[in-house]
Amino acid sequence: MNKSLRLLIVVASLLLLIVAPTLTSAQEAVSLELWTFVNTHARWFREQAERYREEVNPNFELEVVEIAGSDLFARLRISLQSGGVGAPDIADIEQGSFGSFLRGGGDPGLVVLNDLLEEGGYNEQLVSSRQALYTYQGNTYGIEHALTPVVLYYRADVWEGAGFDPQTFETWDDFVGAARAIVADNPGVVPLPIHGALHEILLRQQDADYFDADGNVTIDSEISIETMNWLLSLQEEGIAAQPPTGDALWAAFKDGTLISWVGADWYAGFFKDNAPELEGLWKAAPLPAFEPGGRRTSVWGGTGAMVVATSPNVEAALDFLEFAMLSVEGNVRRFELTNLFPPFIPAMDNERLHAEDAYFSGQDLGALFAEVGPEAPAQYQSPFRSQLNDLNTAAFQDIIDGIRTPEEVYTEIAATIRDEMAFES
């Protein structure tokens, strides 16, 4: 072969080598790290990564690290405090802990998602009130995983056996009336357990909360005090009572003491897990409203997926997050794995979310959640939420035991929090 031909071949091969990669895959390798504390989320994220590889970028890698609950937040905070060393690209943060990331008025170290949500038109597709949990001073930092619609779980055999159908209770007055009758015939039975979160659930049902949209403390508002007083009056009548905690709670369910429970969709899982012998005896209904035509659900809990600002792969992380969390397939699949109803409206009537649940007497819980879901009220975030919750928890027993009035307690708590707010600014 002559020299110039050889040269031509070499140059051509070199050119080909340079051009070739762009001909095959135009995608660069992306490797993300994600932290979560919910192991069903972990499985879901891994599956979504798989789907992402198939549909978008075959060079995508996601390492999912599972860390237990509050430890994840501690670890994340420590990393963020050290300039982001060891921090992941994406993290699941529970709504109760998210508040403290906002503490100190400084930057929580998370990426603001307003643009992403606006541009994709997602704000209309998500039950927007849920996003309030991850929004502070106009900036939204997270995308909600779970709608957490609160419903009334009840012992169908007991209520129906007494001639009542909670599905028809329009207002709490209807509920109370029926409850009185049941308690008269079955002393010792508790129609309304006053668990630690009930008060705030009921407040939210009435469009109130412990904080308002601007971050002011509202636990000492009229409606808050009234609601608690109402619960106490029910307790006096023998209709409501404080349930036991821990193992004994399930004992109280199993021996028929507790005949209903105000809880979110995720509570169904606990029933099935811990009280399998009660299968087929329970049903779920929308919450009775406070006035006719009023809201029939509330919210309790929630976990948001967030992107860490110190991540070197923010764009890639946002892209993946959008793919997984803001798609119908992603939301539906997550429901199948976690049983948590999604806050994504286009996914809500997907048939995979609707099945007959044997535990709940064959009821289609998905239909119930889809029905009340869009009404879900907002829960406002505040850097002081966890501190307020701590104060409230410690004082709860005093209120239940009648040692101090709700007014006394809530006024004191509000004053303390306002003090702290002042001290920190």
Tell whether residue 185 is a contact of other proteins (CB under 8 A). Answer: no
Tell whether residue 31 is a contact of other proteins (CB under 8 A). Answer: no
Beta strands in 67-175 (DSSP E): 90-94, 135-136, 139-140, 142-144, 150-155
Q: Residues 243 to 282: which contact other proteins by CB under 8 A?
A: 244-248, 250-252, 254-255, 266, 269-270, 273-277
Find the shortest distance in angstroms from Cβ 167 to other proteins: 26
Cβ proximity to other proteins: between 167 and 389 the closer is 389
Contact 60, 53 (CB under 8 A): yes
Q: Which of 13, 25, 59, 81 binds other proteins (CB under 8 A)?
A: 81
Look at strands 142-144 and 303-307 and give their pairing. Answer: antiparallel
Find the shortest distance in angstroms from Cβ 306 to other proteins: 13
CA distance 149 to 204: 12
Tell whether residue 386 is a contact of other proteins (CB under 8 A). Answer: yes
Cβ proximity to other proteins: between 139 and 274 the closer is 274
Contact 64, 121 (CB under 8 A): no
Cβ proximity to other proteins: between 241 and 324 the closer is 241
CA distance 116 to 110: 14
CA distance 88 to 308: 7
Token duo for residue 129: 């009130």
Q: Which of 215, 396, 407, 421 binds other proteins (CB under 8 A)?
A: 396
**SS3 (DSSP) at 131:** helix
Amino acid type, 325: M
Find the shortest distance in angstroms from Cβ 189 to other proteins: 14
Q: Is the dihedral of CA 398, 404, 407, 413 positive or negative?
A: negative
* Segment (H or E) for 184: helix 172-185
Scanning 95-103, 177-185, 210-218, 362-370 for contacts with other proteins by CB under 8 A, the matching segment is 95-103
Find the shortest distance in angstroms from Cβ 166 to other proteins: 24
Q: Which of 51, 53, 66, 195 binds other proteins (CB under 8 A)?
A: 66
Contact 324, 317 (CB under 8 A): no
Residue carrying the six token digits 């889809």: 370
Tell whether residue 397 is a contact of other proteins (CB under 8 A). Answer: yes
Q: How many residues interact with other proteins (rule CB under 8 A)?
A: 67
Cβ proximity to other proteins: between 269 and 374 the closer is 269
Residue 287's nearest CA partner among 278, 297, 276 is 297
Q: Which residues contribute to the site for other proteins (CB under 8 A)?
A: 37-40, 63, 65-69, 71, 74-75, 77-78, 80-82, 85-86, 94, 97, 100-109, 244-248, 250-252, 254-255, 266, 269-270, 273-277, 301, 303, 338-340, 383, 386-387, 390, 393-398, 401, 424
